[in-house]
Structure 1
Amino acid sequence: MTEPVKAQRADGQRNRGRVVEVAEAAFAQEGLTVPISEIARRAEVSTGTVSRHFPTKAALIEAVLLTVLERLEEKARSLLTADDPGEAFFSYFHRLVIEGTTNKALFDTLAAAGPDSDLKNAVTSAGTALTTALGNLLNRAQQAGAARTDITPDDLSAILVGALAMQSHATPAPSPHLAALATDALRPHP
């Protein structure tokens, strides 16, 4: 007989959430080289607390990636009922370009992971859900006449990757202008 899974105490859940939040900000600003001890210090918990929740740094990176992808997917789904499908799609796509650049270290880690890595396998379903939600936003914008009808979800993914690459070369920081250029390419021709 298997033992029931113990529910995490409320303070444990808060600590875990705080560690993920602090790690996300630290990784976005400073890259993945931020030591676990520094993340623990900023989260105001012990390194033992971090290790209890995330036995390895890879486990923490995975949790941060999942949190980012789930948050982005949730936002995309919430926009599916927006009154203006074009505005919802374009503002969201613009946000993806900017936020993806901010979280570049995380997404670079995912891109570098091998096809059978635990990290890549762990985020596949979250990434698929995000891609589906983005495709649904595109479809609504196309039906409203706000987005080019010759763009497929696969095209959109390629354009997003290209826009993120453009942003990675923008100095000194991500450029809203470059994000706007990528977004404008998805609009119908006059």
Structure 2
Amino acid sequence: MRADARRNYERLLEQARIAFAESGVEASLDEIARRAGVASGTLYRHFPTRLDLVRAVLAGQLAELTDLGRGLLTAGDEFEALATWLRATVSHGLTYRGLAAAVMSASVDADEVANWHADLFEVGASLLDRAWQAGAIVAVDEADVLKMVGAIAWATQDAPDREAQAGRMLTVILNGLRPRH
């Protein structure tokens, strides 16, 4: 991609992230283009359909979440590293509500979705295992914990105090992970 086309692409993604966080996946594409400082035609050249834009935003957000988790695998406090990643995971689920559902309900490459899930699961499981190995948490089934975290975002997404409610629920899980001495 030419440098100017790359800049336009990045600005469109950034403005789409903001718009989707504010208004959900039905945010105006023309408004996203305007905020990015490009014509609507430029948006459609990069993202021919709304789903293409939603998918690109979701892929970027999930990659950032995966990268955060990988970076936390070397943090000194294993429990806090796990808690930080789980909080970020819940926050992602709350901020970008509707993104995953829009992608999953459309005809999307199942391998792409499977890869996203595999990357997130691998990082989450590694953080959980590392915390367990350090004695910071009790032995748990990684899939159970990760499903509960996803359920928190789903259950609280429409609550007026969703961040506070999700935070309280995540605290219950985190407290339950701690060993009893």
What is the TM-score of this pair, normalised by structure 1?
0.86
Report percent identity of matched pairs.
Answer: 34
Q: Which of residues 163, 173, 177 in structure 2 aligns to 1:186? A: 177
Offset at 1:120? Answer: 4.6
1:152 aligns with 2:152: no
- Given that residues 62 and 123 in structure 1 are in contact (C-alpha distance below 8 angstroms), is that contact kept between their aligned partners in structure 2? no
Map of 2:74 onto structure 1: 81
Distance verdict in 2 for CA 1:39–1:101, change over 3 Å: same
User: Unpaired segments of 5 or more residues in structure 1?
Assistant: 1-7
CA distance in structure 2 between the aligned counterparts of 1:20 and 1:134, rounded to whole angstroms: 26
- Given that residues 19 and 27 in structure 2 are in contact (C-alpha distance below 8 angstroms), is that contact kept between their aligned partners in structure 1? yes
The CA deviation string for residues 79-129 of structure 1, in whole angstroms up to 9 with x for no partner, is 11111111101121122112211111212324444xxx3255433212211
1:93 maps to amino acid: L
Q: How many residues align?
A: 179
CA distance in structure 1 between the aligned counterparts of 2:56 and 2:113, rounded to whole angstroms: 9
- Given that residues 20 and 96 in structure 2 are in contact (C-alpha distance below 8 angstroms), is that contact kept between their aligned partners in structure 1? yes
2:130 maps to amino acid: R
RMSD over aligned Cα atoms: 1.7
- Given that residues 28 and 102 in structure 1 are in contact (C-alpha distance below 8 angstroms), is that contact kept between their aligned partners in structure 2? yes
Offset at 1:45? Answer: 0.8
1:122 maps to amino acid: E
- Given that residues 163 and 182 in structure 1 are in contact (C-alpha distance below 8 angstroms), is that contact kept between their aligned partners in structure 2? no
Map of 2:121 onto structure 1: 131
CA distance in structure 2 between the aligned counterparts of 1:184 and 1:166, rounded to whole angstroms: 19
Runs of 4+ off more than 4 Å: none
Q: Which of residues 150, 153, 163 in structure 1 aligns to 2:152? A: 163
Offset at 1:169? Answer: 4.9
User: Unpaired segments of 5 or more residues in structure 2?
Assistant: none
Map of 2:131 onto structure 1: 141
- Given that residues 94 and 180 in structure 1 are in contact (C-alpha distance below 8 angstroms), is that contact kept between their aligned partners in structure 2? no
Distance verdict in 2 for CA 1:104–1:182, change over 3 Å: farther
**Structure 1 range deviating more: 161-170 or 84-93:** 161-170
Offset at 1:20? Answer: 0.8
Offset at 1:165? Answer: 2.8
The CA deviation string for residues 125-157 of structure 1, in whole angstroms up to 9 with x for no partner, is 1221111011101100011111121x1221122
